[in-house]
Copies of this chain bind each other. A is one copy, B any other.
């Protein structure tokens, strides 16, 4: 039984109670949202996960991608990344490892943190195919489903599966005139598979079988957007929207089966197309939770893509995206360091908070108002306590202190607040 099955049957689970309490939402309202598929709760039945709710009426959530690559395998480093992501408020972590012993790394990360863990199983499939048969492209159906089932049993809470990469979307892609083609790694694996073997994507063809596996362990499927644009010029094109239509159909099949699902979205979108993208997904996918990667709003800032993504993520969240995948400063350049992970999580938490405030979320506003009073009252300890990064805020203030202890060194004793306050006392 999945959370969705229970919700449909009128059953309130422990996980629903935890989520309702955290979000300060009426439990019956939450149950209905889960039953309709507007909200998912990430929690594999086989793992002792702290359940996280994602979707309509809940706060915007943040995911941090970590994991090894063929160029850098250091399991301890990845564990540290997972922990720092959790420390700074990531609601979930995806292990995207492609180098080293993937099962071992995954288990270590799952042991290291309590937040939900996601994966992209096709990476392990590709790696095993290369090891067994020589090339990624030599992967086959059997291997795909074996890996997915294995990961589901291990306790993976949500999986990105690129089921919308189909013969038809690949045809659309060919006629799209894109600059950058496919930039999704999983999307590229499956596009290559379709083109090379001239066969339909097994994850699409056997979608019901896939759902049976996921349902057994209550793995939430995150329908991947393998056709997402890789640069601003390619945004919102026919290949992308073709895939999104298919994903919308698959959402309905998930719901019929009682499998929890989310839909993934871009990527690279200029500001003036973000609203369009969100509304389109919400409409085509019948309000399934929307999980976006960024989006980044300009491509000319490698080294600062946590900022380009925070801009896009804040706006996406405001228009209705439910789950923001962080982007780190090192995106497009190299595997992230621990510091990059921290910067990425914080930038994305800022975006989520900005979105929630703009949507009128009460919990988000409470924090804002508390901070306003802390500033008005020159209560610096309270300001640090409320800050998204307490240590950094405190350290910065202490580096160049003010002689006027209530003020800071920007204005010193010319502090506007103090000046008007002083006058009020007279």
Contact = CB atoms under 8 A, between A and B. Distances in A.
A97 to B, nearest CB: 11
Given A272-B358, A419-B188, A371 B333 contact: no
Nearest to A329: B396
A33 interface: no
Contacts of A311: 310-311, 314-315, 350-351, 354
A411 B127 CA distance: 12
A276 to B, nearest CB: 12
Contact of A195 (B310, B337, B423): B423
A57 interface: no
A304 B347 contact: yes
Contacts of A423: 137, 191-192, 195-196
A39 to B, nearest CB: 22
Contact of A270 (B347, B354, B421): B354
Contact of A410 (B334, B337, B392): B334
> By DSSP majority rule, is chain A's interface helix, strand, loop, or mixed?
helix
B351 A389 contact: no
A330 interface: yes
Contacts of A335: 400, 409-410
A212 interface: no
Interface of A: 69-72, 98-99, 123, 126, 136-137, 179-185, 187-189, 191-192, 195-196, 230-234, 270-272, 297-304, 306-308, 310-311, 314-315, 318, 329-335, 337, 346-347, 350-351, 353-355, 357-359, 365, 367-369, 371-373, 375-376, 383, 386-389, 392-393, 396-397, 399-404, 408-417, 419-421, 423
